[in-house]
Amino acid sequence: MRILVAEDEKRIARFIRQALEEQGFGVDLTHDGDEAYLSATTQQYDAIVLDIMLPGRDGLSILRNLRAQGNATPVILLTARTELDERLEGLNLGADDYVTKPFYVEELIARIHAVTRRAEGERLSILQVADLSVNLITREVTLGTGAVDLTAREFSLLAYLMRAPGRVFPRTQILEHVWGYDFDPTSNLVDVYIQRLRKKIDPDGGRQLIETVRGVGYRFRAV
């Protein structure tokens, strides 16, 4: 999943980003309300973590405008513990949830999973291709009746490819969505992780679930 985090307290923002990336999320981070609004209206996110107090546009203004435009991306507000009126206003404007400061990042991650699960529906929480199953909520991967042990990044890569079986994903697009920042286009990072995944989800090498499209990238077979 790709998350936009708008938080002007840089220490808190870095802490949130690190924790989310360790869980395999792609994270775009901004400390400014105007930048947050631009990102939210020009890019697609699975959820937005939005501090109410931001320089430039404040969080409630951003939320109000997003909902007025029909943007239904789940929004979790970050609020001060004493600001009850702002929390209520945020919920009335269409916020999906809120977390009060200080907070445990584990709680924030759980709430992100909850709001995205509600937004996508339970039927979209499991990706299934042949006998390979990926549970986006519990982050469990099974092949037949056996469990597949993946790192957080391997899981994100597999889930990204499996969301659109048959679609060709260029290497640069995979880097952007799974790793979340720019790499040298000649980097072989994607290729290395693809090889790791292949060994885990197709240990015999007979089915070739992940296909190489020469000169372009990779696609997951729509079997």
Q: Backbone phi, then psi, for 47, in 5-degree steps?
A: -165, 160
Q: How many CB atoms lie within 10 A of CB 138?
A: 10
> Residue 180: which region, alpha, beta or left (left: phi > 0; alpha: psi -120 to 50)?
left
Are residues 52 and 83 in contact, defined by beta-carbon separation less than 8 angstroms? yes
Tokens of 202: 């197709």
Domain finish residue from 120, 151, 168: 120
Domain count, the chain: 2
Where the chain has pLDDT below 70, the residues are 81-84, 120-124, 180-186, 223
pLDDT reported for residue 149? 94
Measured CA to CA, the distance from residue 21 to residue 27 in angstroms comes to 7
Interhelix angle 10-22/105-120, rounded to 10 degrees, is 60
Q: Are residues 21 and 112 in the same domain?
A: yes
* Residue 29 belongs to domain with CATH number: 3.40.50.2300
Residues 6+ apart with CB under 8 A from 24: 139, 152, 153, 155, 156
- Where in the sequence is the domain holding 46, given as residue range(s)? 2-120
The domain boundary residue, chosen from 58, 93, 120: 120
Phi, psi of 149 (to 5 degrees): -90, 115
Q: Does one domain contain both 103 and 167? A: no
CA atoms lying within 13 Å on the CB side of residue 67: 15
Beta-strand ranges (E) seen in 15-139 are 26-30, 47-51, 75-80, 97-101, 126-129, 132-135
- Residue written as tokens 């291709």? 129
Say how far residue 103 (Cα) sits from the centre of its chain.
Answer: 20
Q: Tell me, yes or no, whether 114 and 133 share the same domain.
A: no
Same-domain pairing of 95 and 16: yes
**Which amino acid belongs to residue 143?**
L
pTM higher than the cut 0.85: no
- How much is the pLDDT for 35? 95
- Residue 7: the pLDDT is 94
Residues 79 and 132 in one domain: no
Q: 143 and 110 in one domain?
A: no
Domain boundary at 99, 120, 141, which?
A: 120
Distance from C-alpha of 221 to C-alpha of 223, rounded to nearest angstrom: 6
Give the distance, in angstroms, between the CA of residue 13 and the centroid of all CA atoms in the same chain: 16
- The token pair at 82 is 């004493």
Note the pLDDT of residue 122: 47
Same domain, 30 and 133: no
